[in-house]
A = this chain, B = another copy of it.
Amino acid sequence: MVVGIVCSIFTEYVSCTGCLYMDTLNPQVKAVEYAVRGPIVLKAGEIEKYLEEGGTKPFSEVIKANIGDAHAMGQQPITFLRQVVALCTFPELMDSPSFPEDAKWRALRILQGCGGHSLGSYSASPGVECIRKDIAAYIEQRDEGVPSDWENIYLTTGASDGIMTILRLLVSGKDSSRTGVMIPIPQYPLYSAAISEMDAVQVNYYLDEENCWALDINELYRAYQAAKLHCQPRVICIINPGNPTGQVQSKKCIEEVLHFAYEENLFVMSDEVYQDNVYTPDCQFHSFKKVLYEMGPEYFNSVELASFHSTSKGYTGECGFRGGYMEVINMDPEVKAQLVKLLSVRLCPPLAGQAAMDVIVNPPQPDEHSYKQFHQEKSSVLGALADKAKLTEQILNAVPGIKCNPVQGAMYAFPRIFIPPKAVEEAKALGMQPDMFYCLRLLEETGICVVPGSGFGQKDGTHHFRMTILPSIEKLKVLLGKVRDFHISFLKEYSALE
């Protein structure tokens, strides 16, 4: 083996212990952080295994409130959606009398759009044509007549895939250190991870916790001006309804963001995967596209906007299908051709996910057989989520040292937690963020797995955690009771040390 010799020549690249190790790993990969599946979740997995193998803890099960994974928390699939996907998967079921006709014709229509009438063929890279058309029709209806062109619709492998793809167009490799991507803080860590991986500059704009996590336009200008000193911001990302923050943006706020993007010539990425998850009666989902339309043709014909949706959230919670779409408007036609080329390298999004997406945008109509059951199941999921949103806010706000904004939408509470100075010191001595220290203690003592606020970003000196509101109402009550008891005893323990 001549590696010894090679080493002496190429010490910066080659180690005698192998080709790929931490020193040679792509440093942008090293820089990526993804808290939702980070160290605390690995720890939760270890504890789960330990319990399964007969180990004992002060609790009998780990409750994973770290990730928006509805089915894992017991939510049942929407029957009609699964019927359509099963029919597409195994068309012999078309002869089965136990499948309703409205599911059958939808499956048939999807299959007619597939090569060889099979879910096993590749689709066109932007997705099955009839599904793209259904999505455009759905958007037009949702936005009360604002036109949607099906050729602007691209199916994706979940929303994350779409977000990464658009960012890749915008973030140029060689000049990447000069491309600024504006993201809310707190944010969903896909954004910061993508920015690290692509070596772009993360430009933080802070949401206003005192004002129910509203987006303050002055803060946007501040962030933009500050960033311009060291990079060129080219894109602004908005998550509405908010993840992890749960706010639903007002129409006025969206107008201001769009005006800002128009003025500063920014590409707008609106992450609207929680568009069906709005709980507070005085809040309403406004799509960025519709608001842009209402601002008039000067805006609607010029602001470059990509909006993202997914099968994973809403009332379906079909995360495992990895379905989603993006609508891209005002994109330069040549760039669009480049986008299609880029998508074609990955061939196509999974067909079962595309079929699931089709059901979401083309649900049973009032005159169809499956309408009643579909509607019942949908209302039941969304009703329960609204109840759990309210319950979570109420119980958390009754705990001294915890303050939780209303969960107006999405699937998470992001309460602010007071961590006593002595606990902050102890965490720092362990080389740990204080909220990571807090969440690890919570996990170890109660079995509850939530994600530290530091994984999403937060104002310096403040601490939070993100928890989903997805457990069943009974389990959620238990969970919140345990959080309360833990927090009180944690405060007591560390305040006694003052």
Q: Are A319 and B34 in contact (CB under 8 A)?
A: no
Which residues from B are CB-within-8-Å of A350? 157, 320-322, 350, 352-353
Q: Are B332 and A18 in contact (CB under 8 A)?
A: yes
Give the complex CA separation of A173 and B168 in angstroms.
13
Q: Are A352 and B321 in contact (CB under 8 A)?
A: yes
A398 interface residue (CB < 8 Å to B):
no
A193 interface residue (CB < 8 Å to B):
yes
**Contacts A74-B116, A173-B199, A174-B199 known; 8 new A-B pairs at CB < 8 A:** A6-B265, A25-B172, A27-B172, A29-B342, A120-B316, A157-B157, A193-B345, A322-B347
Instruction: Select one of B21, B161, B304, B352 contacting A334, CB under 8 A.
Output: B21
Give the complex CA separation of A122 and B262 in angstroms.
37
A215 interface residue (CB < 8 Å to B):
no
**Contact digits for A25-65, partner B, Cβ 8 Å, 1 yes 0 no:** 11111101110111000000000000000000000000000
Q: Are B352 and A266 in contact (CB under 8 A)?
A: no
Which residues from B are CB-within-8-Å of A352? 89, 320-321, 350, 352-353
Give the complex CA separation of A77 and B122 in angstroms.
14
Q: Which of A119-140 contact B (CB under 8 A)?
A: 119-123, 125
A121 shortest CB reach to chain B, Å? 4
**Contact digits for A138-164, partner B, Cβ 8 Å, 1 yes 0 no:** 000000000000000000011011001
A1 shortest CB reach to chain B, Å? 6
Which residues from B are CB-within-8-Å of A93? 86, 93
A252 interface residue (CB < 8 Å to B):
no
A360 interface residue (CB < 8 Å to B):
no
Instruction: Select one of B120, B160, B302 contacting A71, CB under 8 A.
Output: B120
A434 shortest CB reach to chain B, Å? 23
A417 interface residue (CB < 8 Å to B):
no
Q: Are A351 and B320 in contact (CB under 8 A)?
A: yes
Which residues from B are CB-within-8-Å of A18? 265, 302, 304, 330, 332
A327 shortest CB reach to chain B, Å? 15
Which residues from B are CB-within-8-Å of A82? 89-90
A28 shortest CB reach to chain B, Å? 5
Which residues from B are CB-within-8-Å of A197? 168, 342, 345
Count of interface residues, chain A, beta-carbon cutoff 8 Å:
110
A468 interface residue (CB < 8 Å to B):
no
A222 shortest CB reach to chain B, Å? 17
Q: Are A320 and B265 in contact (CB under 8 A)?
A: no
Which residues from B are CB-within-8-Å of A193? 345
A8 interface residue (CB < 8 Å to B):
no
A214 interface residue (CB < 8 Å to B):
no
Q: Are A20 and B122 in contact (CB under 8 A)?
A: no
A22 interface residue (CB < 8 Å to B):
yes
A333 shortest CB reach to chain B, Å? 10
- Chain B, residue nearest A262 (CB): B1
Contact A21:B335 (CB < 8 A) given known A14-B265, A34-B345, A89-B86: yes
A75 interface residue (CB < 8 Å to B):
yes
A408 shortest CB reach to chain B, Å? 25
Which residues from B are CB-within-8-Å of A14? 232, 265
A314 shortest CB reach to chain B, Å? 12
Q: Are B115 and A69 in contact (CB under 8 A)?
A: yes
Q: Which of A401-417 contact B (CB under 8 A)?
A: none
Instruction: Select one of B190, B348, B351 contacting A345, CB under 8 A.
Output: B190
